């Protein structure tokens, strides 16, 4: 398995609270991605990073921010969680236009 770890694996939080999800890789891959997966929508890109401190928005970035201060860590923050952000979040890594590897996912419930 590719060295990619997501934490936490499960989280329940209240509406309006900030939440941070962490993705950690040991592969030294340049690109890191955050996706969310919802029934009827498949996987949708939230944000991605192409290097330390280099990030860009995906198709569903509203309400989310990211940071990458080290090659190995990519953080996804929900500034003020809403029920519509209840989802399964996946982190992915790859070196370039090559094979992508995914983490095991974080199941987030906003109540």
Partner 1 sequence: KQEVTQIPAALSVPEGENLVLNCSFTDSAIYNLQWFRQDPGKGLTSLLLIQSSQREQTSGRLNASLDKSSGRSTLYIAASQPGDSATYLCAVDWNSGSRLTFGEGTQLTVNP
Question: Would you count residue 109 as binding partner 1 (CB under 8 A)?
Answer: no
Query: What is the distance between the alpha carbons of residues 75 and 66, in angstroms, rounded to a whole number?
Result: 5
Query: What is the distance between the alpha carbons of residues 81 and 94, in angstroms, rounded to a whole number?
Result: 28
**Nearer to partner 1 by C-beta: 28 or 80?**
28
Question: Would you count residue 34 as binding partner 1 (CB under 8 A)?
Answer: no
**Nearer to partner 1 by C-beta: 1 or 14?**
1
- Shortest Cβ distance from residue 38 to partner 1 (Å)? 10
Question: Would you count residue 96 as binding partner 1 (CB under 8 A)?
Answer: yes
Q: Which of 19, 24, 33, 60 binds partner 1 (CB under 8 A)?
A: 33
Q: Is 17 exposed, middle or buried (0-12, 13-18, 19+ CB in 10 A)?
A: exposed
**Nearer to partner 1 by C-beta: 41 or 70?**
41
67 token code pair:
């940071």
Question: Would you count residue 55 as binding partner 1 (CB under 8 A)?
Answer: no
44 token code pair:
């949708």
Q: 28-39 as b/e, with b when 16 or more CB fall inside 10 Å?
A: ebbbbbbbbeee
Question: Given the rule CB under 8 A, which residues bind partner 1?
Answer: 31, 33, 35, 40-45, 48, 50, 58, 90, 92, 96-105
């Amino acid at each position: 398995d590719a060295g990619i770890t997501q934490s936490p694996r499960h989280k329940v939080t209240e509406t309006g609270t900030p939440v941070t999800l962490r993705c950690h890789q040991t592969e030294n891959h340049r690109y890191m991605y955050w996706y969310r997966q919802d029934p009827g929508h498949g996987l949708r890109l939230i944000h991605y990073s192409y290097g330390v401190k280099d990030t860009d928005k995906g198709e569903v970035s509203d309400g989310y921010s990211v940071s990458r201060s080290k090659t190995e860590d990519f953080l996804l923050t929900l500034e003020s969680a809403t029920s519509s952000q209840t989802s399964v979040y996946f982190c992915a890594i790859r070196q370039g236009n090559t094979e992508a590897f995914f983490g095991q996912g974080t199941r987030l419930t906003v109540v």
